[in-house]
Structure 1
Amino acid sequence: MPAPDETAAPPQPLGEAGGAPSPGGSAAALPPPDADLAAPPPGPAPPPLPAEFVRYAVALEAPELAWGHLNGRVTAADTGTLAFLRRCDLGPEAGEAFARIHARSTDPSPLAAVCRETVDGRPGGGDAEDPRRVWDYLELSHRLSRGDAAGGEASGPQLAAGRREFLLSRAASGRGMNWRDSSALLGTDRPEEVDAAFERGEELVGVAVIGLALTHPDPTAILPRVACALDRALASSDPRLRHQGIVALAHTARLHRTVDRRCLDLLRRCPRGSEADDDLWAYVPRRRLPWWLWRHRLGEPPRRWLRRVGKALFGGRGGG
């Protein structure tokens, strides 16, 4: 499969219906900041959260990850995993603090030391005001995602406030990813980052869509962003963004063996013989594919096939 074109012209910003998040959002519903950031919260500590949940739920800052490890919110192994992923998201310069955490993640004592240094605001400490608050939000979000409805309706505003502050606002500002580095964007985890990039008109948003297709486990989160890329490309006659959308659709078909109607409708308007045509035919169940893709792959049926179909349907009348 050809490598993605990383020099796509910037797409037009999304309109009001695009659904991209607005920056800001109050965090008043979250617990208030605590002066001692390294001290454990009162009461029994919640169990560690898995990295595979955290990576998709929020773009962590380095002090937040460090605080989470020191207070048992994430294991040492998952601390190393998350530090590596965030270092990849941000690149060598902006991700230096994460690189330092990752480099020491296999040895408990050095890892604890670098985490304390990061939380205390020493070199690489970042700008988070209270790392505890993001973990309280993550713990609540994870608990509700597992079907634990403790807290009832009172959890709704708290969850929404945390999502606005720690996910949507950071995505809207662009601080969660390095939008100048295509290799970093090929590891895009969070769909909200892509939505906000469309809103800002990021030049490399098509690369981020490919990255989302490669990394996200849920095709229902990927396909709407693929469709957005194809729709923008077709509306603006942008062949580079169109190709990036096609490559993302091909990856989704190959990895998840599925497609949706909107992507198929948009793909039909693209030139035939693309990577998406090939991978849809190879990996998605044929019964789910449209007639125009069948015709492209198999060619026009011979006239004798048409005669046989006519005989089967009409009993020899009008079969040719």
Structure 2
Amino acid sequence: MLPPDGTDVPHPVLPAEFVRYAVALQAPELAWGHLNGRLTAEDTVQLAFLRRCDLGAGPGEAFARIHRAGHDPAELAAVCREIADASTDEARTGRAAARDGQHAPDGQYVPDGPLAPDGPRAPDGPDARRVWDYLERSRRACDEEGAAVDGGRRLADGRREFLLDRAASGQGMNWQESSALLGTDRPEEVDAAFERGEELVGVAVIGLALTHPDAAAILPRVARALERALESSDAALRHQGLVALGHTARLHCTVDRRCLDLLRRCPRRNEADDDLWGYVARRRLPWWLWRHQFGPWLWQVVRYQPGTFVRWLARRSGRWLPGSGCRGADGGGGAPWRRGPPPVDLTAQEAGPG
């Protein structure tokens, strides 16, 4: 059976949009959180769906079970209790094997101590509660504008254990399936993939651009992908980085200087040029992108409509140009341009002849 929470103090319900970015949850942890009132049923089902997409069909089967049971609260609670209890039983088996001097079976959870060589630590009752206690402290710190609530060291330790270490080991995502990586929503997963040299890291950068709500977290990873692609002449990774940059421009209407510098080194008419031109404020775009966008149009005008081009120059300069049909108000240059013949001198007409 699942151990009780052990406290009568009510705990706040955490929103799924916070939890999904803060930790890489395991199925027993998600089940424990729902059973102990840390998540609503709706948020539990949403997180189960997201983690199922992250891990794929095999490793994410426990999350798929939680998601399928979401239509019935009683069935959802039963499935969550079964998953949590199974994790607790595996943890007890691992502890018994450790006391007897035996190794736990491959893939079985080992709950006590740091990450064990035979498998990740078990999120049974007490361990699963540690995840949610960390999430509660982290949420409170965010609500209080980043104040170090309950000690900044505990927050840093929790982030390292429940997010960074899991990302570094690769267990937070399924790095064999492109479809799973298109749902990447934690920047730390992408950073760890760069360190490990994952082949599909570019797909994860695209997924991050599509799912993460903060462009400040996306653009450094896009720049890292473009930089690595340009250094290694990796055309596939360059294409993926440009696609991610285009998605970021469309969804967030912004770009940074580092990405623009790297984009300039890429061949023109790529996947990002038009998206930047169409969705980012023009005043923030560099001159070379203006030249690229206006160059073909200007050449077509000069070649096929020379009169239009000459009139445009006349308007820009305020001076009369031959063949433009535009003349300054004073008959020359310097004054605002005016179409048609020069103005008539009405004073001279009133004076009459002689």
Cα distance between partner residues in 1 of 2:142 and 2:191: 22
Root-mean-square deviation (CA, aligned residues, Å) is 2.3
Match of 2:171 in 1: 175
Match of 1:32 in 2: none
Counterpart check, 1:40 vs 2:20? no
Aligned residues: 278
Cα distance between partner residues in 1 of 2:24 and 2:14: 15
Among candidates 127, 150, 155, match of residue 151 of structure 2: 155
Residues 149 and 270 of structure 1, relative CA distance in 2, 3 Å threshold: closer
SS in 1 for 2:58: helix
The offset of 1:272, in angstroms, is: 0.7
Kindly provide the amino acid, as one letter, of the partner of residue 212 in structure 2. Answer: H
Residues 124 and 59 of structure 1, relative CA distance in 2, 3 Å threshold: farther
Kindly provide the amino acid, as one letter, of the partner of residue 76 in structure 1. Answer: A
The offset of 1:227, in angstroms, is: 0.2
SS in 2 for 1:275: coil
Cα distance between partner residues in 1 of 2:20 and 2:14: 10
Match of 1:195 in 2: 191
Match of 1:56 in 2: 21
Among candidates 135, 138, 151, match of residue 135 of structure 2: 138
The correspondence of residues 1-320 of structure 1 with structure 2, limited to 5 A, is 37-121=2-86, 127-129=122-124, 130-147=127-144, 152=148, 154-299=150-295, 304=310
Residues 215 and 41 of structure 1, relative CA distance in 2, 3 Å threshold: farther
Kindly provide the amino acid, as one letter, of the partner of residue 43 in structure 2. Answer: D
Alpha-carbon displacement from aligned partner over 1:1-41 (angstroms, at most 9, x marks no partner): xxxxxxxxxxxxxxxxxxxxxxxxxxxxxxxxxxx854124
The offset of 1:155, in angstroms, is: 2.0
SS in 2 for 1:83: helix
Instruction: Report if the CA contact (8 A) 1:250-1:275 is conserved.
Output: yes
Cα distance between partner residues in 2 of 1:189 and 1:38: 32
Residues 279 and 86 of structure 1, relative CA distance in 2, 3 Å threshold: same
Q: Which has the higher contact order (CA 8 A, sep 6+)?
A: 1
Unaligned runs of 5+ in 2: 91-108, 110-121, 303-308, 320-332, 335-354
Cα distance between partner residues in 1 of 2:60 and 2:88: 12
Kindly provide the amino acid, as one letter, of the partner of residue 193 in structure 1. Answer: E
Kindly provide the amino acid, as one letter, of the partner of residue 136 in structure 1. Answer: D
Residues 140 and 153 of structure 1, relative CA distance in 2, 3 Å threshold: closer
Residues 54 and 154 of structure 1, relative CA distance in 2, 3 Å threshold: closer
Residues 153 and 74 of structure 1, relative CA distance in 2, 3 Å threshold: closer
Alpha-carbon displacement from aligned partner over 1:44-88 (angstroms, at most 9, x marks no partner): 222210000000111100000000000000000000000000000
Cα distance between partner residues in 2 of 1:292 and 1:124: 64
Unaligned runs of 5+ in 1: 1-35
Cα distance between partner residues in 1 of 2:262 and 2:39: 42
Q: Which has the larger radius of gyration?
A: 2
What percentage of aligned pairs have identical amino acids?
71
Kindly provide the amino acid, as one letter, of the partner of residue 88 in structure 1. Answer: C
Cα distance between partner residues in 2 of 1:79 and 1:38: 20
The offset of 1:153, in angstroms, is: 6.1
Kindly provide the amino acid, as one letter, of the partner of residue 118 in structure 1. Answer: I
Cα distance between partner residues in 2 of 1:89 and 1:124: 26
SS in 1 for 2:10: coil
Residues 298 and 148 of structure 1, relative CA distance in 2, 3 Å threshold: closer
Alpha-carbon displacement from aligned partner over 1:286-305 (angstroms, at most 9, x marks no partner): 11111111110111756856
The offset of 1:149, in angstroms, is: 6.8
SS in 2 for 1:94: coil
Alpha-carbon displacement from aligned partner over 1:234-258 (angstroms, at most 9, x marks no partner): 0001100000000000000001111
